[in-house]
Structure 1
Amino acid sequence: MKHFTVLVRIVLAWSALLAAGAGAHAQNGDTLAKVAETATINLGHRESSVPFSYYDNKRQVVGYSHELMLKMLDGIRAELRLPALTIKLVPVTPQNRIPLVQNGTVDIECGSTTHNEERARQVAFSTSIFVIGTRLMTNRRSGIRDFPDLAGRSVVVTAATTSERLLRTFNERIGGTINIVIAKDHGESFQLLELGRAEAFMMDDALLYGERAKAQQPEDWIVVGSPMSAEAYGCMMRRGDVAFKKVVDRELTRLMQSGEALKIYTKWFQRPIPPKGLNLNWPPSDALLELYRAPTDKPL
């Protein structure tokens, strides 16, 4: 019994050392070393960013960004010569996604995160994976067709997004007549729109079409307005982790220039998707096709 107790203590101590080592690698920005040591990578994902990263009817994570990441991880597996790689899925929100990357809880987050200079001071971004414009969704009978029509209206926007910042700036410019409603995620934003708590939903155009795909009556909702901004999505990693970023960028570039990324785009934007089987019918933009031809990690 005494020998058994000693053995248990040794095993526990060794496990603690392994965990501490993995944590140290994460804090030091050496993600590849941590993954090689633990054969595990922590992938941050969104819960309701249709069609980029979200739960389907069976609570499985699916979407354009998520599928790109799974393909990219094949390159990580080959780089490290790992026979198997455990992917730990970590749900994130607009509010906690950056802190979870910074503190090592998440090794890489890939959903619908805009790459801008402010965020680039906190985390590193991969080669861009998508290009969007910031627009509005509204009921086709609302009379709203562009941003100037929002004066005196209630507009919902998801918290801690670039769209929230843009909407607040626009509201100040027109005298503060917009009633801004804040929701915790895109799903809640669209729910408030459907319930009549807001007359328009401001967000990235691709996400608006994704929320429309979940509606009870998709034909009631239209996406309108000249884009207030053009933005690039990227995957977030810890700053200073040069080796990890190099592998991620290399694999994403391979997917784009080989045509594989375009096939993934077609699957999620031009074919029926969960949860209701609606086809977004959204051809790739010229800006996205140019990104596939010449991948870059620069913000727009």
Structure 2
Amino acid sequence: MTNKLLRATVLNVCLASVALTAAAQSSPTLKKITENGTIGLGHRESSIPFSYYDDKQQVVGYSHELMLKVVEAIKADLKKPSLAIKLVPVTSQNRIPLVINGTVDLECGSTTNNKERAKQVAFSTSIFIVGTRLMTRKDSGIKDFADLKGKNVVVTAGTTSERLLRKFNEASKSGMSIISAKDHGESFLTLETGRAAAFMLDDALLYGEKAKAKKADDWAVVGKPMSFEPYGCMMRKGDPAFKKLVDEALTKAMVSGEAAKIYAKWFQQPIPPKGLNLNWPLSDTNAALFKAPTDKTMD
């Protein structure tokens, strides 16, 4: 190699290094990721079909695939194609603390973007909009929230459904006994074994639990939604450059039609672990979100 060519090569390497440093330094999160060579991704263990373990203990799901689209954008922005991924399982109760303390850089699962949580973390462009409803046995006689008077009802601890149901129970003087389970799987088990007459959660997640039930046809999702809630990906507050990168990647996936294809894969085709199909067409609300992505909260 000639001296001239060597100098040019060194110069190009230096310029690339400067550009990378500038990109990372514009964002505390990108700087952390660059220094560690790793991005921490928060995922759920049983939020079917958004983020969960399949029968091979691999993390899969609608939200997880969208999060990987964001990772592709981060790798491109940092010019780090070999960036390592650290998958961190989270629960409804610890997901926010793990984002805040830096264990997780990005969490995409089934987390509602609401004003209370937005005081603690930043939310991306919404990735899905759900309604909070009930699941019960088809022959239970329960059709809506008014039918829960005096009954045992299970919720997953730390969810917006738990907060909404406790508020409703107090305001309506329904006399419900509300059971808090550690995750959605335990909540459904509480319902399935007869310890609760109904299970309140986001409708999409209820359909996911129904799909993996021993006898899916025994169960029905009922009731007028108590609320409509947008799911978003969480990240630390005070990092607008990182949020911009995340939002741009998600928006691209939505308006390009990629998100609709990912939706069809997880909501309209057989999914693991049992190869069951949720058979849930794209709602008008989510179709509108894909056309005009927004990070607006609904409360």
Equivalent residue for 1:226?
Answer: 224
Give percent identity, aligned residues only. 69
> SS where residue 279 of structure 1 aligns?
coil
Q: Which residue of 1 aligns with 2:235?
A: 237
Q: Which residue of 2 aligns with 1:130?
A: 128
Amino acid at match of 1:253: T
How many residue pairs were aligned? 275
Would you identify which runs of 4 or more consecutive aligned residues in structure 1 move more than 3 Å? none
The code of the aligned residue for 2:32 comes to K
Q: Secondary structure at the match of 1:54?
A: strand
* Aligned pair partner of 1:269 in 267, 270, 288: 267
1:110 alignment counterpart: 108
State whether residues 155 and 199 of structure 1, in contact with CA within 8 Å, keep that contact through their aligned partners in structure 2: yes
Contact 1:128–1:235 (CA under 8 A) maintained in structure 2: yes
Which position in structure 2 is the counterpart of 1:184? 182
Q: Does 1:256 align with 2:254?
A: yes
Residue matched to 2:276: 278
- Quote the Cα distance in structure 2 between the aligned partners of 1:248 and 1:29: 12
Quick check: 2:148–2:174 contact (8 Å CA) kept in 1? no
State the Cα deviation string for residues 239-271 of structure 1 (Å, max 9, x = none): 001111010000000000000000000000000
Output the CA distance in 2 between the equivalents of 1:201 and 1:154: 9
What residue in structure 1 maps to residue 32 of structure 2? 34
Which position in structure 1 is the counterpart of 2:151?
153
Shift of 1:36: 2.0
User: Is the 1:29–1:240 contact (alpha carbons within 8 Å) kept by the matching residues of 2?
Assistant: no
Give the letter for the 1:235 counterpart. C
2:150 maps to 1:163: no
Partner of 2:56 in structure 1? 58
Give how far 1:71 is off.
1.5
Instruction: Please tell me whether the aligned partners of residues 72 and 252 of structure 1 are also in contact (alpha carbons under 8 angstroms).
Output: yes
**In structure 2, what is the equivalent of residue 204 of structure 1?**
202
**For residues 296 and 90 of structure 2, what CA distance do their matches in structure 1 show?**
24
Residue 68 of structure 1 and its aligned partner are, at CA, apart by 0.5
Which deviates more from structure 2 when the two are superposed, residues 172-181 or residues 244-253?
172-181
Secondary structure of the residue that 2:209 maps to in structure 1?
helix
Q: Residue 48 of structure 1 aligns to which amino acid in structure 2? A: S
CA distance in 2 between counterparts of 1:247 and 1:296 reads: 14
Contact 1:29-1:238 within 8 A present in 2 as well: no
Offset, 1:29: 6.6
Contact 1:29 1:239 in 2 (8 A): no
What runs of 5+ residues in structure 2 fail to find an aligned partner? 1-23
Larger CA deviation: 79-88 vs 42-51: 79-88
Tell whether the 8 Å contact from 2:134 to 2:201 is kept in structure 1 after alignment. yes
Q: Could you say which residue in structure 2 is the equivalent of 1:73?
A: 71
User: 2:117: which partner in 1?
Assistant: 119
Q: Does 1:48 align with 2:46?
A: yes
- TM-score (norm. length: structure 1): 0.90
Give the conservation status (yes or no) of the 8 Å contact 1:114–1:162: yes
Q: How does 1:7-22 map to 2 (within 5 A)?
A: none
Partner residue, 1:4: none
- 1:59-109 residue CA offsets vs partner (Å, 9 max, x unmatched): 110000001111121111111111311110000011110010001010011
RMSD between superposed Cα atoms in Å: 1.4
Q: Is the 8 A contact 1:135 1:202 kept in 2?
A: yes
Cα deviation for residue 162 of structure 1 reads 0.4
Whether contact under 8 Å (2:27, 2:241) holds in the other structure is no
Deviation at 1:176, TM superposition (A): 4.2
Query: 1:106-139: CA deviations, max 9, x gaps?
Result: 0011100000000000000000000000000000
**Local SS of the residue matching 1:73:** helix
Q: TM-score, length-normalised on structure 2?
A: 0.90
1:175 offset after TM fit, Å? 1.2
Supply the AA of the counterpart residue of 2:54: D
Q: Does the 8 A contact of 1:151 with 1:174 survive in 2?
A: no
1:288 is displaced (CA, Å) by 0.4
Higher deviation after alignment, 289-298 or 36-45: 36-45
Query: For the Cα contact (< 8 Å) 1:124–1:238, is it kept in 2?
Result: yes
Aligned to 2:286: 288
Task: Quote the Cα distance in structure 2 between the aligned partners of 1:106 and 1:62.
Answer: 18
Q: Distance in 1 between matches of 2:204 and 2:225?
A: 12
Partner Cα distance (1:218, 1:286) in 2: 26
Q: Secondary structure at the match of 1:278?
A: coil
The AA in structure 2 aligned to 1:117 is: K
SS in 2 for 1:272: coil
CA–CA separation in structure 2 for the residues paired with 1:68 and 1:54: 14
